[in-house]
């Protein structure tokens, strides 16, 4: 063998040795070091206080990741189940790993952007931009991004983003709400009002819009209009859901009783009562509570199924024996099932447990009136007025009865005037129905001039508020007062 051949052989041996070492190193990196480093990224949330089905789902998703460390789907789904059960920080590394393995999957960057924004991370904007490149025409993304920009004080960028929402989703109130908030932040109150009014044209039940508009009106010095908007806002659901099919996939991962109830309320907001009941039933199987069973009973009652509702009210009472709301609702269901005597017993039990609970007085008096027991109805309402410190609906019903009952022995014009006048004062003489009752009280007491003037005021208010049937009835009673006659109901 020549010297040259020997050198070549040495070179080849050395090269093979290097390749062997490299291969061993690569195999070690892939099989030992990389899995260890990747596994170190796996979050370890405290599952001790979770409902078992939730803890089990998180454990199963974690095992799936351990078996498929290169699967973006498994990492992302682990992030989803952590995210939706309020392990926000723990979900972030999962979304980041999923996005690194599959950078073209919109869900991982979108969910990551939202949770980073919720945890006030400065990385949120980078992730919103990444999502925007993947799906620039997805309107819910623009809503979230616009709100994040607005919160950070980037008004110009936020304005462009919300204008894009309006162009992509013209039927949604969220874009105009965003524009209204930006105008408010800039001090442009009239412009803000215009945007918010447009938002309410699109969705009259958007609570946040009413709340922001109340603030705008207050700053404009329109205190009465502001108070009205605030009152409306307080009666509406806290969240006006944005139609977001991608995020709904995340919401569907919720396995806790809380999430079943949340989805139930979501179905309810869409008028899907049967679907809502199924979600509430699942929540009760996981975590029974009296309010939940009572709510199911109310939904069945709303559907005209009082017999089915009764058992749920009874279950609610078994869990909370002194819950007067359940007593009252059960009484109503029994009444609607044609069992008035049983209903009366439950309404009376309300008095004994909670004398200040107003609905039971109204319901029991209604039963007595249906049974032509006016004296019992009046007695019940008088107890209600004393116990509830003059609760307006009780006072008004009692005033009407003692002013208009056909039983002369039960009529009391002076009492009717006092009750109705107090109710009018509490409502600032703005309710035409209460004014109508006050007019009837004046007439029964023989004060026809006051009855005529009050009835005319009630008629004008009823007309201006488009209550045509009430206006018609007031006009008929007014004709009696003009003739010097009180109004009495017919037996």
What confidence tens digit (pLDDT) does each residue in 18-62 have?
665 555 544 444 444 445 666 677 888 888 888 899 999 999 999
Given its phi and psi angles, is residue 405 left (phi above 0), alpha (psi -120 to 50 degrees) or beta? beta
Asked if residues 110 and 80 have their Cβ atoms less than 8 Å apart, the reply is no
- pLDDT score at 26: 44
Greatest alpha-carbon span in the chain? 140
Q: For the segment 323-369, what is each residue's pLDDT rounded down to a tens digit?
A: 999 999 999 999 999 999 999 999 999 988 999 999 999 999 999 99
Residue 137 DSSP symbol:
T
Q: Of 148, 105, 107, 143, which Cα lies nearest the Cα of 126?
A: 148
Q: Which CATH code for domain 54-234? A: 1.25.40.10
Asked if residues 188 and 221 have their Cβ atoms less than 8 Å apart, the reply is no
> What's the rounded Cα separation, in Å, for the pair 257 and 295?
14
Give yes or no on whether 54-234 and 389-491 have one common fold: yes
Q: How many residues are present in the chain? A: 491
- On average, the pLDDT of the chain sits at 91
Residue 8: both structure tokens together: 């070549």
Domain boundaries, the chain: 54-234, 389-491
- pLDDT score at 239: 66
Q: For the segment 210-258, what is each residue's pLDDT rounded down to a tens digit?
A: 999 999 999 999 988 998 899 898 888 776 678 899 999 998 898 888 8
* Termini Cα distance of the chain: 132
Sequence-separated contacts (24+) of 353-358 with Cβ below 8 Å = 353/322, 353/324, 353/327, 354/324, 355/387, 356/387, 356/388, 356/389, 357/324, 357/325, 357/328, 358/384, 358/388, 358/391, 358/393, 358/394
pLDDT at 7 over 70: no
Residue 277 DSSP symbol:
H
Q: Give me the percent of the chain exceeding a pLDDT of 70.
A: 91
- pLDDT score at 240: 63
Asked if residues 392 and 428 have their Cβ atoms less than 8 Å apart, the reply is no
The residues, ordered by sequence, that sit 6+ positions from 340 with a Cβ below 8 Å of its Cβ are 334, 367, 370, 371
Burial class, 222, CB count within 10 angstroms (exposed 0-12 / middle 13-18 / buried 19+): middle
Measured at the alpha carbon of residue 295, what is the angle toward residues 393 and 336, in degrees to the nearest 5?
A: 60
Asked if residues 267 and 279 have their Cβ atoms less than 8 Å apart, the reply is yes
What is the pLDDT confidence band of residue 8, given thresholds at 50, 70 and 90?
low
Task: Give kind and range of the element (H or E) at residue 64.
Answer: helix 52-67
- Reduced to 3 states, what is the DSSP secondary structure of residue 360? helix
- Chain centroid offset of residue 164 CA: 27
Q: For the segment 85-142, what is each residue's pLDDT rounded down to a tens digit?
A: 999 999 999 999 999 999 999 999 999 999 999 999 999 999 999 999 999 999 999 9
Instruction: Could you list the beta-strand ranges (E) of 286-386.
Output: none
Q: Of 390, 401, 474, which Cα lies nearest the Cα of 431?
A: 474
Q: For the segment 286-318, what is each residue's pLDDT rounded down to a tens digit?
A: 889 999 999 999 999 999 999 999 999 999 999
pLDDT at 437 over 90: yes
- Reduced to 3 states, what is the DSSP secondary structure of residue 348? helix
Residue 33 DSSP symbol:
I
Q: CATH topology for 389-491?
A: 1.25.40
- pLDDT score at 10: 61
Residue 31 DSSP symbol:
I
Q: For the segment 163-212, what is each residue's pLDDT rounded down to a tens digit?
A: 999 999 999 999 999 999 999 999 999 999 999 999 999 999 899 999 99
- pLDDT score at 28: 46
Asked if residues 214 and 194 have their Cβ atoms less than 8 Å apart, the reply is no
- pLDDT score at 11: 65
Give alpha helix (H) positions in 287-323. Answer: 290-302, 306-319
Residue 249: both structure tokens together: 């996939």
- Chain centroid offset of residue 22 CA: 60
More confident residue, 25 or 424: 424
Mean pLDDT, residues 385-401 taken together:
95
- Reduced to 3 states, what is the DSSP secondary structure of residue 29? helix
> What's the rounded Cα separation, in Å, for the pair 481 and 121?
71
Give alpha helix (H) positions in 427-482. Answer: 432-444, 448-464, 468-482
> What's the rounded Cα separation, in Å, for the pair 143 and 247?
13
Measured at the alpha carbon of residue 108, what is the angle toward residues 102 and 112, in degrees to the nearest 5?
A: 135
């Amino acid at each position: 063998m020549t010297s040259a051949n020997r050198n070549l052989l040495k070179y080849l041996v050395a090269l093979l040795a290097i390749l062997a070492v490299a291969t061993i190193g690569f195999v070690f990196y892939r099989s030992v070091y990389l899995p260890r480093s990747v596994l170190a990224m796996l979050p370890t949330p405290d599952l001790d206080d979770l409902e078992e089905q939730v803890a089990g789902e998180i454990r199963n998703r974690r095992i799936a990741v351990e078996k498929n460390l290169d699967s973006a789907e498994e990492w992302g789904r682990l992030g989803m189940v952590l995210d939706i059960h309020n392990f926000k920080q723990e979900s972030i590394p999962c979304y980041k790993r999923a996005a690194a393995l599959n950078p073209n999957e919109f869900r991982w960057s979108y969910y990551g952007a939202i949770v980073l924004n919720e945890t006030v991370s400065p990385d949120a904007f980078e992730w919103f931009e990444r999502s925007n490149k993947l799906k620039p025409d997805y309107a819910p993304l623009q809503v979230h991004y616009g709100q994040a920009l607005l919160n950070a004080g980037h008004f110009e960028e936020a304005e462009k983003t919300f204008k894009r929402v309006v162009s992509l989703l013209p039927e949604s109130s969220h874009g105009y709400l965003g524009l209204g908030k930006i105008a408010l932040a800039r001090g442009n109150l009239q412009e803000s009002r215009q945007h918010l009014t447009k938002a309410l044209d699109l969705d009259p039940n958007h609570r946040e819009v009413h709340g922001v508009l109340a603030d705008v009106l207050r700053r404009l010095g329109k205190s009465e209009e502001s108070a009205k908007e605030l009152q409306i806002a307080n009666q509406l659901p806290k969240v006006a859901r944005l139609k977001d099919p991608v995020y709904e996939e995340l919401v569907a991962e919720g396995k806790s009783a809380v999430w079943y109830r949340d989805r139930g309320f979501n179905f309810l907001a869409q008028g899907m009562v049967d679907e809502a009941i199924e979600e509430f039933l699942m929540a009760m199987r996981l975590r029974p509570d009296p309010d939940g069973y009572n709510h199911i009973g109310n939904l069945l009652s709303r559907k005209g199924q009082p017999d089915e509702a009764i058992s749920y009210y009874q279950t609610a009472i078994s869990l909370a024996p002194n819950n007067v709301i359940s007593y009252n609702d059960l009484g109503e269901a029994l009444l609607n099932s044609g069992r008035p005597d049983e209903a009366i017993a439950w309404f009376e039990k309300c008095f004994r447990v909670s004398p200040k609970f107003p609905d039971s007085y109204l319901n029991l008096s209604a039963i007595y009136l249906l049974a032509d027991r006016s004296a019992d109805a009046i007695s019940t309402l008088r107890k209600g007025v004393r116990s509830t410190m003059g609760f307006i609906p009780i006072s008004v019903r009692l005033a009407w009865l003692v002013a208009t009952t056909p039983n002369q022995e039960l009529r009391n014009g002076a009492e009717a005037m006092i009750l109705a006048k107090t109710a009018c004062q509490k409502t600032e003489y703005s309710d035409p129905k209460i004014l109508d009752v006050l007019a009837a009280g004046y007439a029964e007491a023989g004060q026809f001039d006051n009855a005529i003037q009050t009835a005319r005021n009630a008629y004008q208010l009823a007309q201006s508020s488009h209550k045509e049937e009430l206006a018609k009835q007031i006009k008929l009673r007014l004709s009696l007062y003009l003739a010097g006659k009180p109004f009495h109901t017919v037996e």
